[in-house]
Structure 1
Amino acid sequence: MSIAVENVSFAAGNNIVVDGVSLDIDKGRILGLLGPNGSGKSSLLRIICRLRKVQSGIVRLGEDDISLIPRAALARRIALVEQQSSTDTQLTARDVVGLGRTPHRGLLSSRSADDDAAVEDALDRVDMLHKANQLWQTLSGGERQRVHIARALAQAPSELLLDEPTNHLDIQHQLEILSLVSRLGITCIVALHDLNLAAMFCDKIAILREGKLVAAGTAGVVLTETLIEDVFGVRAHVERSSVHGRFNIQYRLGQRQSALSDLPSEGGDRTRQSS
């Protein structure tokens, strides 16, 4: 296994955020981490890269207990792309991506030609090379997200953790980023809200609810109509797509959603076709 989480729990104050979760992912595979808001996805990612201290359980990278890996070695191995990150410092997109090379340099070392090449390549792979010299504060939300992913790529990790990497991105860049991640050939754990994107790009899916692991397995096993309604509170129809061959989820209007759809539109009354 590349990453193994063994009966891990974490609490913030008296609130249990991650509750006895066990899961694993093989080397070079993509694990999609799904669940409603507040289910513990982001906290679990932070636990895996040791930004949160577990109260019980073990996280392993290969055979190594993550708590015993030196910080510098861990930083060279794991890259985390978080949902939101900001700075008031006047940095260009190239400067931000260059931060990904920090674990590979000594404390007082300057950037090498290899560092510069890694930064240029990372920017190019996320379609941001043309914005390399633009100040961070002037970038759109989607552009900042792509720069953060480029920073992680420049780090050259063997394990990549992404917390909602498609947040703020248009459909084209959502597909491009996840396609890129799927071609990296490294171990990835991706927290997502979009079940269809998870079914398209993830080798394995884990579902969290209220900090507990509800199900884990392939999309065909995990993303059932019963589980989707139970965990996410929506009715759905699941079938294999004739376009890409992966499972596709089509949502139906449930009782709560139907009540909202009965509201008149701006132009007056609207007719709703029942699913």
Structure 2
Amino acid sequence: MSITVDQVTYAAGNTVIVNGVSISVEKGKVLGLLGPNGSGKSSLLRLICRLRQVRSGIIRLGDDDVSGLSRAALARRIAFVEQQSTTDTQITVRDVVRLGRTPHRGLLSSWGSDDDAAVEEALARVDMAERARQLWQTLSGGERQRVHIARALAQSPSELLLDEPTNHLDIQHQLDILALVAKLGLTSIIALHDLNLAAMFCDHLVVLQKGEVAASGTPEEVLTEDLIARVFGVRAHIERSAVHGRTHIQYRVS
């Protein structure tokens, strides 16, 4: 397994937010992390990249316990794309992506051809090479998310974490972003709210409820009418899409 979370618990003060969670992601696969607001999705992602400290349990990248990795080593291995990021600084698209090379450069090291190559490749992979000189502030929401992903790719990671990457985007950009991630070939965990998008683009799903795993498996195994009613509190009808062949959910209005 490329990412393994083994019986991990995390608490803020006396409030347990992640409670004994175990998940695993195979190399090169995309795992969708689902659950209502407050279920622990964002906290779990931050625990994996060590922005939060586990109370108990172990998180591994391959054979390596993340608690034993230096910050620089961890940043060279895993990239994290948060929901939203902004800046008032006048900065170009290329400059944003260049920030992804920080973990690969020492305090006294100069910018090299390897750094240039990583940045240009990252821009090309998200189809933003032609916008490289454009100011960040002039981009649309979907374009900014592409640049965020390019910055993450410039880190040359083997694992990619994304926290609600399609939040606040229109449907075209939601589809574009998730299709892009699915084609990257990186081991990825994506926290999502939209169950249909998760079914379309994820190989495996984990549903969290009140900080615990409520279900885990393929989209077909996980997204059942019973689970959707029990975890999300809505009635639904499940069918296989005639368009993409994956699970499709139709919600019932009471």
Letter in 2 for 1:146: R
Q: Does 1:185 align with 2:211?
A: no
Distance in 2 of aligned mates of 1:145 and 1:95:
15
Alignment of 1:118 with 2:118, yes or no, is: yes
Q: Taking CA–CA contacts closer than 8 Å with sequence separation of 6 or more, which of the two structures ends up with the larger relative contact order?
A: 2
Give the distance between the partners of 2:226 and 2:80, measured in 1 at CA: 32
CA distance in 2, matches of 1:245, 1:6: 33
Structure 2: runs of 5+ lacking an equivalent? none
- Conserved 8 A contact 1:145-1:167: no
Contact kept in structure 2, 1:142 and 1:167, CA below 8 Å = no
Matched ranges for 1:1-275 at <5 A: 1-254=1-254
Deviation at 1:219, TM superposition (A): 0.6
What TM-score do the two structures reach when normalised by structure 2? Answer: 0.95
Query: What is the one-letter code of the residue matched to 2:146?
Result: R
Identical columns (%): 73
Contact 1:142/1:168, CA 8 A, preserved across alignment:
no
Structure 1 window deviating more from structure 2 (73-82 vs 98-107): it is: 98-107
Tell me, what secondary structure is at the counterpart of 1:91? coil
Cα contact 1:42–1:191 (8 A) shared by 2: yes
**Shift, 1:8, TM fit:** 0.6
Q: Distance in 2 between matches of 1:16 and 1:95?
A: 39
Deviation at 1:107, TM superposition (A): 1.9
Give 1:200 shift. 0.9
Q: Structure 1-normalised TM-score? A: 0.88
Partners in 1 of 2:108 and 2:127 — Cα distance? Answer: 31
Cα distance, 1:131 vs structure 2: 2.8
- 1:7 maps to amino acid: Q
Aligned residue identity for 1:66: V
Alignment match, 1:259: none
Whether the 8 Å contact between 1:10 and 1:18 is mirrored in structure 2 is yes
CA contact (8 A) 1:78 1:157 kept: yes
2:227 is paired with a residue of what secondary structure? helix
Structure 2: distance between partners of 1:248 and 1:70: 42
Residues 144-176 of structure 1: per-residue CA shift (max 9 Å, x gap) = 222111111111110000111112333222222
Partner AA of 2:183 in structure 1:
R
Secondary structure of the residue that 1:5 maps to in structure 2? strand
Q: Which amino acid in structure 2 is aligned with residue 38 of structure 1?
A: G
Letter in 2 for 1:160: L
Instruction: Show CA shifts across 1:176-234 (max 9, x none).
Output: 22222112222100001111111111111000111111110001111001101111111
Structure with greater Cα Rg: 1
**TM-aligned CA deviation for residue 142 of structure 1:** 2.6
